[in-house]
């Protein structure tokens, strides 16, 4: 029988990242949910609040005292998959031209989107670039070298709210809340059905290969 509702058991997505201390830097990027992050300094696990603090958005940790120059900083963040749609992870890859600083994503992003940006296989820090969601652009602080490979992991929040049932409960949803503005392009595949609940302002393109019902 097909399963309807939340899957049983805890599902998480692990985000591992390594940094090298420089003696002054205290903030290190990593993605995690609900303070679910482990921090290691030269292989020794640090203690939350005593050695480092987390932030409310789950995007970085801050050391109480900056790691020394050359120290190894390893961080493991856990993101609960129930807070992410299974289709919410995308990767876009670019090959840089000489001195290129701006890269425009094909995917629409907003302030809730988490981006992991890699240069030639190494994940960058937030000090290396700025993000402008209004035009889906990533701007590097320094021009890239010809044929540099820039890879961008795009993680968008999934369709889950406090009105959803917890694991193990029957799939009875008393209410769904939908936004009043659609500003992300949507494609309905030929074998899919879509529902749009109004009133709604559409500031995006809707490509209908299947069926769209407006209520």
The per-residue pLDDT for range 61-100, each reduced to its tens digit, is 999 999 999 999 999 888 765 544 444 678 899 999 999 9
Res 6: pLDDT: 42
| pLDDT interval class at 40 (50, 70, 90) | very high
Residue 186 near residue 204, CB atoms below 8 Å: yes
* Residues 155-164 pLDDT 10s: 776 554 444 4
In whole angstroms, give the CA distance from residue 162 to residue 176.
10
β-strands 206-208, 186-188 pairing: parallel
- What is the mean pLDDT of the segment spanning 22-46? 90
* Residues 167-208 pLDDT 10s: 444 545 556 667 777 777 778 888 888 888 878 888 778 888
Write out the residue limits of the CATH 2.60.40 domain(s) in the chain. Answer: 12-81
Q: Is the pLDDT of residue 3 over 70?
A: no
Q: How many secondary structure helices (H) and strands (E) does the chain include?
A: 0, 20
CA distances from 130 to 38, 68, 133, 136, 199 (A): 26, 26, 10, 11, 35
Q: Is the pLDDT of residue 140 over 90?
A: yes
> Considering only the top CATH level, what class is 12-81?
mainly beta
Length of the chain: 215
């Amino acid at each position: 029988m097909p399963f309807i509702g939340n899957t049983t058991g805890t599902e998480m997505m692990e985000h591992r990242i390594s940094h090298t201390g420089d003696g002054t830097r205290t903030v290190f990027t990593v993605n995690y949910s609900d303070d679910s992050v482990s921090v290691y300094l030269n292989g020794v696990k640090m203690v939350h609040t005593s050695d480092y603090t987390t932030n409310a958005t789950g995007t970085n940790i801050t050391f109480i005292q900056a790691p020394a120059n050359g120290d190894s900083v390893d961080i493991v963040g856990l993101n609960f998959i129930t807070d992410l749609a299974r289709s919410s992870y995308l990767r876009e890859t670019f090959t840089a031209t000489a001195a290129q600083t701006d890269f425009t994503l094909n995917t629409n992003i907003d302030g809730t989107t988490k981006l992991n940006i890699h240069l030639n296989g190494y994940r960058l820090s937030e000090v290396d670039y700025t993000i402008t969601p209004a035009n889906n652009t990533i701007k590097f602080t320094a021009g890239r070298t010809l044929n540099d490979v820039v890879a961008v992991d795009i993680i968008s929040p999934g369709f889950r709210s406090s009105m959803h049932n917890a694991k193990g409960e029957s799939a009875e949803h008393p209410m769904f809340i939908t936004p009043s503005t659609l500003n992300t392009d949507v494609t309905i595949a030929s074998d899919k059905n879509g529902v749009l609940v109004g009133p709604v302002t559409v500031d995006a393109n809707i490509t209908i290969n299947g069926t769209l019902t407006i209520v």
